[in-house]
Chains A and B, each alone.
Chain A
Amino acid sequence: MVSEAIFDAINRLLSSHIIESKLLNENELYAEVAQSTLKDDCIKIYKNIDCVLIDIFGNDTSEIDNNIIVYYTFAVRSSNTLITIYVKLDKSCSMRIDSITREIPAASLYEREIQDMFGVVFNDILDNRELVHHGNFPLNIHPLKKDFKVNTRLDFEKRELEFASISGSGVFEVAVGPVHAGIIEPGHFRFSVAGEPIINIEAKLYYVHRGLEKLSENENYMKVLLISERISGDETFTNSLSYSQAIEKLNGITYLPIRALYSRVIFSELERICSHIGDLSGLCVDTAYVFAAGQFAMMRRWIQLLCEQLTGSRFLRNANKPGGLRRDFIRNNDKIILECLNKLDKEFKETVAIIKNNGMFIDRVEHTGILSNSIAVDLNAVGPGGRASGIKADVRKDFPYAAYSNLKFNVPEHNNCDVNCRMNVRIEEVIESISIIKQALEKMPEEGPIAVDVGNLKPYSYAFGMTEAPRGENIHFVMTGENNTILRYKVRTPSFCNWPALCYAVKANTLTDFPLINKSFNLSYAGNDL
């Protein structure tokens, strides 16, 4: 439950500004404020309550009241509470609100996203460039407005994209992408370099923008489950879990079968192990350490094979659904899971010992790509990237879900802020994950149902679903429409938060270290672009 202290604090800070306030889903606090006081209210909350800005998003509620609502969500990590300030903008009047980027830097990307997708204009915005749209997108078209049809075929325009350029003698620009040299996703980077060191980097993403949020609108909630599984291939389970949790919450399902909760823990952790080992393999590839890369790739395949044996999918697809799991995948399989984990545990520790004793490898990763704590806090860096810079945040601890509150585990803490640190966070997390799965298998009841029926969805209700993805804090907002459809599905994956952090971390490093630093954050382009 929300502590009295937070209630009091919000009432004291916003007092007369609050038009309407309500508490939903046990820990979500919503307060409506006026357009004119919005900026002050957000800043008051940010400065006076120990919280972080985790999401800003729009929602076109034409079906209900001809408004566009903009939500500002703050997370109080110390007391399991989400504070959401929202403002209703009348579509027929001017849709202008004040930008808060100068006071809360993490808001920058969200504001640009809302400008592109909803046409809400932010006064005094720091960076007015388009974020989602590219030069080919017609001006003044805003896809997430309800009057825009999802299958509209738009014309291709030609506009030049703006990039911040740095000039001076000996300063050159290097353009990379969107088609890269390796087998990775598309993104365009402009490096301004003085010889080898990078002065500035500009990233233009959204090449794999598939219009996923728009595609989810007015679709049955079970189809949206499949879309959520396909946000980012290697985060399939955690995304579908966030979505399922949001649906369960908004429909008032508070107790799931215990077997379902533990199964969800097991699959989430398998995915985390798989992702982290893949990253370690990537780091070794980028330092041309082929032996270790092969070792980690081999271990990753063990886990993928285990996932396939359990669920029939190497990426844990078709496993989750609102209300529990699609089938009881763990039954009679305890033994193969334990066997695989024991094998992995031994091999992993031995390989880690080898790479940590390799001076040439450590030389590459140490003191490379430093993301200082103050910048990480300002940009709300999440996941291993944040934890390596001294941000102690983990959704599994702060906002416990599934069965995590019954399990013992440590969240690794590091303060050196470099690639080595992020690598160590991952290594420690893999070992913790193995122990979590073993505990979960032990504590799981032998028999019992695996899912409950969700029933019909309550129309026009909403909730947040939060999970700790392998890459960090993952937040999904779901609002339902009528007849079991989804009205608004907002996805904020950890990659969205960490891209600006990455751009800071590469500055002053050499161009050749960029792939290494990029890999140490391991951000998903698909998860960012949606």
Chain B
Amino acid sequence: MHNTIKKLFQHGTVTVDYPKKPIKSSFITGIPEFDYDKCTRCKSCVNSCPTGAIVFVDNDKQKEKSPAVNVDECIFCRFCEEACPNGAVCLSNKFELAQKSRDALRTTPICVIDDDVKGLEYELLGTQLKEKVSKIFGKSLNIREVDAGSCNGCDNEIMALNGPYNDIERFGIHFVASPRHADMLLVTGCVTRNMEEALIKTYNAAPTPKLVVAVGACACSGGIFKNSYAGKNGVDSVLPVDVYIPGCPPRPQALIYGILKAIGRM
């Protein structure tokens, strides 16, 4: 007992002060950024991208076609950085990437082959829901996590939210055991065939108003598991999504940013 109490005081409070104080770390892997002055438009980055996230399109500020990134498809693999002969692409440390619509994450419109994306028509609904949520729940929120086909990287990061360093309960946000108690579904993974029904049932079991947050590159766009016989290309082909959190996997602070954004506290 003596040792236990000693340990309790030894480390003091370890919880990080995010989002009150921004995280300043040069080690974080974030969104790829282009230096258009250095870029020779050689398209090496476009060809090296394994998920097709880098596109070659008209750019408002640049006079010619230039590379740009669709963040929802990016898996942060650094292949573009290594492929560029001029060092014009660099993975920055901006990790607060969550957006309320998938279009805000993209430079080119979504090109859907066979899955419907249910994003736009629900956008209006989403804003109404958000108002309701803040009115009804105040500032507290109950979350149910659903793994719909991730590699468990995102799940590990969500688990880290409950750990001593991030301690998400300080925002009044709890993870609950049943969708019946949940205001928000945190969905990871590309939505596999075998999880599709379970995911829809979980969504239906959660009482309205409810929010859906897609976590990780797979949940946003299918990521590296895109166009597989065994899965869909992201959560929005099955459910209406309120917030997209890109990343592979998104670090816990990026998740906090996204969740707070979903309930309008960011």
Contacts and interface: CB of A to CB of B under 8 A. Distances in A.
Instruction: Bin chain B's interface residue count.
Output: 35 or more
Contacts of B157: 314
Interface in A301-348: 301, 304, 308-309, 312-315, 317-318, 326
A207 interface: yes
Interface string A350-374: 1101100100000000000000000
Given A226-B224, A291-B4, A308-B27, A134 B193 contact: yes
Given A152-B229, A208-B192, A214-B228, A230 B3 contact: no
Nearest to B197: A136
Contacts of A400: none
Contacts of A291: 4, 7-8
Contact of B146 (A179, A222, A294): A179
Main secondary structure of the interface of A (DSSP, over half): loop
B147 A354 contact: no
B112 interface: no
Contacts of B25: 308
A183 to B, nearest CB: 5
B194 interface: yes
A318 B248 CA distance: 11
B135 interface: no
Interface in B115-137: none
B79 A222 contact: yes
Contacts of B195: 178, 186, 207-208
Interface string A227-257: 1001111101000000000000000000000
A159 interface: no
A326 B82 contact: yes
Contacts, number: 182
Contacts of A206: 194
Interface residues of A, number: 65
B189 A208 contact: yes
Interface string B205-232: 0000000000000000001110111110
Given A136-B193, A317-B77, A181 B198 contact: no
Interface string A133-156: 010110000010000111111101
A275 to B, nearest CB: 10
13 contacts: A136-B193, A143-B230, A150-B227, A151-B229, A154-B229, A179-B179, A185-B152, A208-B189, A210-B192, A300-B163, A301-B165, A312-B27, A313-B29
Lowest 9 CB-CB distances: which A-B pairs, in order? A233-B153, A211-B230, A181-B177, A211-B228, A297-B163, A233-B152, A151-B227, A312-B29, A223-B50
